[in-house]
Amino acid sequence: MCGIVGYKGNKEVKDVLIEGLKSLEYRGYDSAGIALKNEQGVEIIKSVGKIADLEKKIKKEKLIDCDMGIAHTRWATHGGPNEVNAHPHTCGKITLVHNGIIENASDIKEMLTKEGVKFKSETDTEVACALINYYYKGDMVKAINKAISEIIGSYAFAILCSDDDEIYAVRKDSPLILGIGEDELFVASDIAAIINYTDQYILLDEGEIVEISNDGYVITKNGRNVDKKVLKADISKEAKDKCGYDHFMLKEIMEEPTVLQNTLKPYLEDMNKLIDLSEYEEIHIVACGSAYYAGMIGKSLLEEKAGIRVVCDVASEYRYKKIIYDRKTLVILISQSGETADTIAAMRKAKSEGVDTLAIVNVKGSTIARESDKQVFIEAGPEIAVATTKAYILQVAMISLMAYKAAVSKGLEKGREVLKDFELLPRMLKEVLDRREECLKIANKIYNKEDIFFIGRKIDYSICMEGSLKLKEVSYIHSEAYQAGELKHGTISLIEKGMPVFGIITDKDIREKTISNIEEVKSRGAKVIVISNEVLYKYDYEITVPKVSDYCQGVLVVPVLQLIAYEVAKIRGCDIDKPKNLAKSVTVE
Nearest residue to ligand F6R, using CB?
289
Q: CA-CA distance, 502 to 550, in Å (whole number)?
A: 20
Among 2, 66, 288, 481, binds ligand F6R (CB under 6 A): 288
- Which helix (H) or strand (E) covers residue 253, if one does? helix 248-254
CA-derived radius of gyration, the chain: 25
**Residue 291 engages ligand F6R in binding (rule: CB under 6 A):** yes
**Residue 174 engages ligand F6R in binding (rule: CB under 6 A):** no
Q: CA-CA distance, 535 to 244, in Å (whole number)?
A: 34
**Residue 388 engages ligand F6R in binding (rule: CB under 6 A):** yes
Strand-pairing partners, residue 453, are: 480, 501
The C-alpha angle 506, 507, 510, rounded to 5 degrees, equals 125
DSSP 539: S
**Residue 366 engages ligand F6R in binding (rule: CB under 6 A):** no
**Residue 154 engages ligand F6R in binding (rule: CB under 6 A):** no
Using the contact rule CB under 6 A, the part of the chain among 24-32, 182-190, 297-305, 329-337 near ligand F6R is 329-337
Count of chain residues binding ligand F6R (CB under 6 A): 15
3-class SS of residue 552? helix
Within 8 A by CB and 6+ apart from 473, the residues are 386, 387, 565, 579, 582
**Residue 585 engages ligand F6R in binding (rule: CB under 6 A):** yes
Is 466 buried (19+), middle (13-18) or exposed (0-12) by CB count in 10 A? buried
**Residue 343 engages ligand F6R in binding (rule: CB under 6 A):** yes
Q: For residue 83, which of 35, 47, 131 has the smallest C-alpha distance? A: 47
Using the contact rule CB under 6 A, the part of the chain among 53-61, 191-199, 245-253, 282-290 near ligand F6R is 282-290
Q: Do residues 140 and 164 make contact, with C-beta atoms less than 8 angstroms apart?
A: yes
Of 133 and 336, CB closest to ligand F6R? 336
Using the contact rule CB under 6 A, the part of the chain among 9-17, 333-341, 491-499, 515-523 near ligand F6R is 333-341
Q: CA-CA distance, 185 to 217, in Å (whole number)?
A: 8
Handedness of CA 239, 244, 248, 250 (dihedral sign): negative
**Residue 335 engages ligand F6R in binding (rule: CB under 6 A):** yes
Using the contact rule CB under 6 A, the part of the chain among 15-23, 102-110, 241-249, 287-295 near ligand F6R is 287-295
How many Cα atoms occupy the beta-carbon half-sphere of 273 within 13 Å? 13
Among 290, 468, 533, 553, binds ligand F6R (CB under 6 A): 290
Q: Do residues 429 and 559 make contact, with C-beta atoms less than 8 angstroms apart?
A: yes
**Residue 336 engages ligand F6R in binding (rule: CB under 6 A):** yes
**Residue 586 engages ligand F6R in binding (rule: CB under 6 A):** yes
Is-catalytic flag, 584?
yes
Q: Mark 530-569 with x for binding to ligand F6R (rule: CB under 6 A) and - for no binding.
A: ----------------------------------------
Of 287 and 403, CB closest to ligand F6R? 287
Is-catalytic flag, 552?
no
Using the contact rule CB under 6 A, the part of the chain among 156-164, 272-280, 288-296, 447-455 near ligand F6R is 288-296
**Residue 3 engages ligand F6R in binding (rule: CB under 6 A):** no
From 14, 109, 390, 584, the catalytic residue: 584
Max CA separation in the chain (angstroms): 78
Q: CA-CA distance, 236 to 228, in Å (whole number)?
A: 23
Catalytic site positions = 2, 584
Contact footprint for ligand F6R (CB under 6 A)? 288-291, 335-337, 340, 343, 387-388, 469, 473, 585-586
